[in-house]
Amino acid sequence: MTNELLNEWKKEKIVEDGDIVLAGVSGGADSVCLLLMLEQLQKKTDFLLEAVHVEHGIRGEESRKDAAFVKNLCKDHGIRCHIFSVEVPVFAEKHGLGLEEAARILRYDCYKKAAESVKKEFPEKKIRLALAHHAEDNAETVLFQMVRGSGLDGLCGMSRRRDEGIYELIRPLLAQPREEIEAFLRECGQSYCTDETNLDTEYSRNRIRHQVLPELKQINGQAVAHINQSAALLQEMRDFLNEEAEHIREMYVVEKSDGIQLYPGVWEECHEVVQREVLHKAIGQVAGSKKDITRKHIESVRDLYFSQVGRYVELPYQVLAERNYHGILLRKDTEKKGENVAFSREIPKESLQKVFEGEALELEVPGGRVAFRGLTPDGEIGEIDKKSYTKWLNYDKIKVGLQIRTRTAGDYLTVDDRGHTKKLKEYFINEKVPKEMRDTMLLLTEDSHVIWAVGQRISADYKIDENTKKILEVHFFGGNYHESKEY
């Protein structure tokens, strides 16, 4: 396999002149083969080769012997070796993880540290991390993802190369069957280590490797190759789907200060397969990870679009999907359960009366300040300038005084000159006030009668007319209150 594979690597530029390649070497057959093959590739391509070994602290003395084997192998070949020791069992227990998952996390953390160290020495060089996964590993991954109900990304198996920021991850042996790797080592007369834990069928992947794959090979001798071919086809389909999803995202997905807004076009202008991909990426972006975002979560957000405004679903990583008037808002649920957001401040009528005597009345409220001013109509009242945070009220209608507060049960307002009333909750819904604003919106009230939901229109009962003798001007300003005309 040597010359053919080396020529293939050179043709696809899996490593290029001037690169630094860090080979992950456990001491097993696959990684030893990779190291020796990369060493031979140096005859065709000018790059620096180094090794990284992670001693996981799982197998005691056997694990330390593997580290010593890798160290001596690298020394014999003049290859610098970075060796890390970690305590996987301790990390797994602390974080509630299985040994496999904990080992993977710590191993990749060590790879990153090695890359950072090399980058300091050679800041201008491109770093590639070469891992020795082969065809059987990829087939195992596809089967494992399939039985756990993975989506398309999982069924695509391992990628041959992937950008990881500080380094590019490459898997040069991904298309090679295990038997060819072992044959290469026999021809070279090269020994390698055997990790006994790889034979333990208590681990899911080992059961697939030692029990499931052999059975599939009995059905079809090319089972591994065919699984890899199917994964490659799915990768092509995924790439096309990603392009379509990105097109939809550009048109109908907008990042906002409070989260990600998905507009109706996501549901109305594209196929449901593209919808799911768009939603998966958007949820993962807000969450910071797509790892635990399942099809069930994605379907719950798809269905939410057809629900009433104000409905929501809770997702992993404290992500909240809310149905609003614009579509679906995905945001972090940062509100503390049971947090008291209520506010209330009494303004006796005696205090209000003093503004008509020339005294200033200005109060601090959540989000800014409010000022009151007394006006006396002088002749005919013209058209009132309609503004969002300044209102003229008929002071003659105020009986006992005012309150500035947040909503409570029983609040209502008068909606027309005939005295028809409407519950505040119903008013909020009709006026499309976002659900997340309703508990914190300030109200100017007289008992349960809402005179003004600040930023909205005032109650019909308190509007001024030709019979009004005193006008109370109320002006909210500063902080969250920025004046704009109302149309």
Binding-site annotation, residues for ATP? 26-31
CB 118 within 8 A of CB 127: yes
Rounded to an integer, what distance in angstroms lies between the CA atom of residue 354 and that of residue 368? 22
Rounded to an integer, what distance in angstroms lies between the CA atom of residue 264 and that of residue 274? 14
Three-state secondary-structure class, residue 179: helix
| Torsion from C-alpha of 94, 97, 99, 102, nearest 10 degrees | -80
Rounded to an integer, what distance in angstroms lies between the CA atom of residue 315 and that of residue 322? 11
User: CB neighbours of 214 closer than 8 A, spacing ≥ 6?
Assistant: none
Of 475, 461, 486, the residue nearest 394 (C-alpha):
461
Of 247, 262, 454, 485, the residue nearest 365 (C-alpha):
454
Rounded to an integer, what distance in angstroms lies between the CA atom of residue 173 and that of residue 131? 8
Please enumerate, by residue number, every residue annotated as part of a binding site: 26-31
Which amino acid is it at 170? I
CB 278 within 8 A of CB 244: no
User: CB neighbours of 475 closer than 8 A, spacing ≥ 6?
Assistant: 370, 371, 372, 373, 389, 390
